[in-house]
Amino acid sequence: MKYPLRLIILPLLALTLVLSACANNTIALTEQDGLYINEKVGVSYAIAPAYYEPQSVGEPYAMMKLGSIEVTFYHVGDLDPTKWLTEEYSGSATMLVSSDITLPDLNGFAPDTIHLCVQSETVWEFATVTDQAEIDEVVRVYTEGESVSHPGMNPDMTLRFKFSSSAYPDIYYNLICLDYGDSRYLYDRETKRCVEIGDLLSKYIDGKSVTTAAPDTTAEPNA
Q: What percent of the chain has pLDDT over 70?
A: 81
Query: Using CA atoms, how far apart are residues 128 and 113, in angstroms rounded to an integer?
Result: 7
Task: Look over the chain and give the mean of its residue pLDDT values, rounded to a whole number.
Answer: 83
Burial status of residue 124 (CB atoms within 10 A of its CB: 0-12, 13-18, 19 or more): buried
pLDDT per residue as tens digits for the range 13-41: 333 333 333 445 789 999 999 899 999 88
Query: Using CA atoms, how far apart are residues 37 and 137, in angstroms rounded to an integer?
Result: 40
Query: Using CA atoms, how far apart are residues 8 and 5, in angstroms rounded to an integer?
Result: 9
Query: Using CA atoms, how far apart are residues 197 and 176, in angstroms rounded to an integer?
Result: 12
**pLDDT band at 5, cuts 50/70/90?**
very low
Average pLDDT, integer, range 184-213? 85
* Coil vs helix vs strand at 156: coil
- Asked whether residue 10 carries a pLDDT value surpassing 90, the answer given is no
Query: Using CA atoms, how far apart are residues 137 and 141, in angstroms rounded to an integer?
Result: 6
Q: Which residue has the higher pLDDT, 206 or 191?
A: 191
At residue 10's C-alpha, the angle toward residues 7 and 16, to 5°, is: 130
Query: Does an H or E element contain 28, and which?
Result: strand 27-32
**Looking at residue 121, what is its pLDDT?**
62
Domains in the chain with CATH codes: 19-98 (no CATH), 105-205 (2.60.40)
pLDDT per residue as tens digits for the range 48-101: 999 999 999 999 999 998 778 889 999 999 999 999 999 998 778 899 999 999
